[in-house]
Amino acid sequence: MDPSAAVFGSRLATDSWFCWEQPDRDGFALAGVGSAHEVVSRGPGRFDDVVSACAEVSRDRRAVEPPDLPAGAGPVWVGGFAFSPHGGGAAQWSSFPPARMVLPELSLVRAGERTLLTVAALVTPESSPDVVIGRVRARLASLRDDPPLPLLDPHPTGETQIRSVRPPGSFEHAVARAVERIGAAELEKVVLAREVVLDAPAAHDPAALHGALRELFPSCFCFCCGTPEAAFIGASPELLVRRSGAVAATVALAGSTRRSADPSVDNHLGEQLLHSAKDRHEHEVVARRIKRNLEAHSVWVEAAPEPGLVRVANIQHLATPIHAQLTEPRSALELAGLLHPTPAVGGEPCDAALPVIDELEGMDRGWYAGAVGWMDAAEDGELCVGLRSALLRDRTAHLYAGGGIVADSDPAAELAETEVKLEAVLPLLSG
């Protein structure tokens, strides 16, 4: 069974849904549809609020399940968090609050050779058993596992209009101002992003886009978080955190360059990236903070001594895997709150960088560069950083891309880097 295809084929117009895949990891996929319960919060305490609310619901659960469930099976919370504690206020983000985790009525997880289906219902003292059972049966009856994900189908005659919300020169000016702030020792690094909007002749199809992304980016976290009004979708190369029992894993990902179809040129670009003083400094800032944040909650933290290269279809990054043995149980969502935002999407120091982002970007990031993922009843789970992503609302798509600014950043080069990152999704929507 294809969990994502089953969910896309079974969802109703009024449903929330969620798909998550990393095809290169033994075909792992998790998908859910419907909402048995939803937790929403905003403000600086949103991660803590959601952790507490999810734990309260899960604490009293009654389950019939086999003893050897893989991670992601059984009741599972899916959703995400905006970049900012109050993010998502712009009109296009109206159904994506600063924090939203959903317990799907139906969820499917594929791990290796196994695919498991979970049915979840929230029962209160006022609930009618007949009504609850009837709703569950109706949801099960609606599940379809036969239709494959559709192919992207460009409109035969219409043209897609593409525009930058702010002129490219405005982004370069913002980078130059950020470099000035860094030169004045106000901060060490800041990440600035820009927004591109596509208006298509027909509604964008999140099912077709998800299918294309998982084919093109099998090593990435391919996600689609949908509401009746919109879908936030992407193929992120960046793991924020994976929690498995007492072990937490993450990756410092910062420093980028383009790919080439010529293997020798591609290798040369990678070597240049590995030896770039600017990119190595940008990367070290990220790895240093992640390690420091984890050390306060771990018996030990281990990071690779040198960054390696992570190559995806159109871009390659410097990457340092980091693992930690936790001193006490902390859920995947709690760990995400401890790490977000890393300097890979925020800056260093964080308290100095966030006001600069607000001042120089002039946009609401919403869930872009936020945390997207899942957590099961054992509190294991994984969340990625919402990068290489798009917000789809009918015929309009909002795309976002950014870059890390340090002391020797060049505005023109930073603009060019955002164009490379936009190429992950933009050609699929504009074709």
What torsion, rounded to 10 degrees, do the Cα atoms 263, 209, 310, 81 define? 160
What torsion, rounded to 10 degrees, do the Cα atoms 423, 426, 428, 431 define? -110
21, 188, 195, 238: the catalytic one is 238
Q: What does the alpha-carbon distance between residue 299 and residue 325 come to, in Å, rounded to a whole number?
A: 5
21, 105, 188, 189: the catalytic one is 189
Predicted pLDDT of residue 67: 80
Predicted pLDDT of residue 154: 78
Question: What are the φ/ψ torsions at residue 200 (nearest 5 degrees)?
Answer: -100, 160
Annotation marks residue 278 as catalytic: no
Predicted pLDDT of residue 58: 86
What domains are there in the chain, each with its CATH number?
3-151+159-430 (3.60.120.10)
Q: If we measure between CA atoms, which residue out of 242, 229, 195 comes closest to residue 95?
A: 229
Annotation marks residue 238 as catalytic: yes
Query: Which residues of the chain, if any, have pLDDT below 70?
Result: none
Is pTM, for the whole model, over 0.85?
A: yes
**Chain centroid, CA 132 distance in Å:** 33
